[in-house]
Amino acid sequence: MDAMLVIRAGLAALVSCAMTPPASAQSANSGRDYPTKPIRLLVGFPVGGGADVAARILGPRMSEGLGQQIIVDNRPGAGSSIASEITAKAPPDGYTLVSIGSSHAVNAALYPKLPYAPAAGFSAIVIVATAPVAITANPAVPAKTLKELMALAKARPGQLNYGSAGVNGINHLAAELLKHTANFDIRLVPYKGVAQALPAVMAGEIQLMFASLPGSIDQIRTGRIRAIAVTSAKRSNAAPDIPTVAESGVPGYEASSWFALLAPAGTPKPIVTKLNTEALKALQTREIQESLIRQGMDPTGSTPGEADAYLRSEIAKWTRVVREAGIRAD
C-alpha cells in the first residue's frame, strides 16, 4: 500500500472520528486523560528483530506526543506468542501494548488452540511497516533471475537447498507458498536464526535463503549474497532495484512481513484513536520514514479498522497456505 496515501486516509478518518460524539462519558474521559503513566510495549522477539526495531523507532516519537514514556519490554519465545498472550490478558486500559509481526498470523494458522484469540483478542491500532522476504542466493549459483532459478530447480528437483531462520516462520512459509504456486521443489534447511543462516549461504553450505529484507539488506548491498527477488506486491523502497516475485513470472504472488501495534480487546475507542493519531504523526516525519527504510522496511500507516481487517486477512491467507501445503507445526 502507498505509505503516504494510507497515512493521509488514516488522518482523514481520524478527523471524522473526532467529530462523532463518544459512546459514553467514561470513554470520553479515558481518551482525554490518557495517558497518565508510562506505557509498556511488549515485543515477542529478541532485541534487533523487525518487530523490536519498529517499536524502538516509533516508540520515542509517539512518547513525545503522548507526554508519557513508551517502554519497550522484550519477551521472546514461542514465536512471539508469549508477548501476545500477556497483552491479550492485560487490562484494556491502554497501558499494555504489543508490537507484532507477521508471525502473529502464522501462529494463528499453525496453532488452533492458542491461549488467546489472534484477532478477536486484540484492538488493532496501526500497521507500522511492511518488509518483504528476500529470495537470495550464494553468488556462485548460476541463476540471476527468478525464472532462471525456477528453471534450475526444475532441472535439479530436490537438489537445491534453501535456508530460513527457523521452521514455520514467515520466511519458511513464503518459500512453501512459492513452491506450491510455481510448482518446483527446493529443500528446507532450517537454522535457529538469521545469524546462523546468513553465514551458511555466504559460505555456500546452502545455495539459497529466504530471509527478511531487514535482516539481509547489508549482505545484499555488499554483494556477499545475491538478491533474486522480493516477495512483496510492490518493490521495496529500501531496495528498489530488486524485482518482485510477481513481476518475475509468478503473477499474484505476495508474502510480506509486516509490523503492527495492538492493544487488548475492549480498549476504549478514544484511547485507540489517540494511539493511532500519534503513530500516524510519527510515520509522517521524514526522520521516522528514513529510519525504517534504512532498516529494510516500508513505512505504512493505517486506521485501526484497516489494521484489524489486514490482520484478519493475513490470518485467513496463511491458514489456507498451511492447509494446502500440508505444513504441520513442529
Give 43-74 as a DSSP string.
ESS-TTSHHHHHHHHHHHHHHHHHTSPEEEEE
First to last CA, the chain: 33
Residues 231 and 174: beta-carbon distance below 8 Å:
yes
- Say what the pLDDT of residue 209 is: 95
Task: Determine the pLDDT at residue 48.
Answer: 79
Distance in angstroms (rounded) separating the CA atoms of residues 147 and 45: 34
CA distance linking residue 183 with residue 80, whole number of Å = 31
Domains of the chain with CATH codes: 3-130+258-325 (3.40.190.150), 132-248 (3.40.190.10)
pLDDT at 20: 46
C-alpha cell of residue 317: 491467507
Nearest-angstrom CA–CA distance, 235 and 71: 33
Q: What is the pLDDT along the chain (330 residues), one digit of tens a residue?
A: 444 444 444 444 444 444 444 443 344 455 789 999 999 999 998 887 788 999 999 999 999 999 999 999 999 888 889 999 999 999 999 999 999 999 999 999 999 899 999 999 999 999 999 999 999 999 999 999 999 999 999 999 889 999 987 777 888 899 989 998 999 999 999 887 778 889 999 999 999 999 888 888 889 999 999 999 999 999 999 899 999 999 999 999 999 889 999 999 999 999 999 999 999 999 999 999 999 999 889 999 999 999 999 999 999 999 988 888 788 776
Fill in the amino acid letter for 144: K
| Helix (H) or strand (E) segment spanning residue 129 | strand 122-137
Residue type, 156: R
